[in-house]
Amino acid sequence: MKTKKTLFIGGIKSGKSFNAELYILKGSVSKPTYLATTEFIDKEMQERIDEHKQNRSDKFNTIEEPLKLYNAITECDTPVLVECVSMWINNMLYHGFNFLDMKKELEKILELDKSVVFVLNDVGGGIIPDNALAREFIDISGKLSQLIARECDEVYHTIAGISTRIK
């Protein structure tokens, strides 16, 4: 697989993660790395995590890292699927990091000579929330999605399980 960066973006439960998994598996000559960013929050979130683990079975080497993506990716010698950037943004905000911290981390990743597939929720299609934290999350997510898409070789938008290449 030629070294490249790819973004799968779409709404929640749009099928972007599934399609990103198929994409990286198809393009990899060795077992790719699944970089899981979700932190255990509650029973429902644990069920989601378990479902993702079951779906990917033994097709991936899995690393669970909620914050330090750059460090985790630099340790990998196979293509990496980052699942997902939206949960990483959530984690970073929860742990007191700001937009510039996140931007710097992603810029370093985008400069790596490694194949990385990013999965990100498209949160820009809704209404402006009534609370400051949700507005901050949406603003950061929107700005970071633009950064990632600009630097990626390929970008796929996913709706109803169908990923369409838009770049």
pLDDT in tens, 143-159: 999 999 999 999 999 99
Which CATH number applies to 5-165: 3.40.50.300, 3.40.50.720, 3.30.450.90, 3.60.15.10? 3.40.50.300
Q: What is the pTM of this model?
A: 0.92
pLDDT in tens, 16-47: 999 999 999 999 889 999 999 987 677 777 77
150, exposed or middle or buried, with CB in 10 Å at 0-12, 13-18, 19+?
exposed
From the candidates 52, 86, 122, 155, which is the catalytic residue? 52
Please indicate whether residue 52 is annotated as part of the active site.
yes
pLDDT in tens, 65-104: 999 999 999 999 999 999 999 999 999 999 999 999 999 9
Kindly list the domain boundaries of the chain, sorted by start residue: 5-165
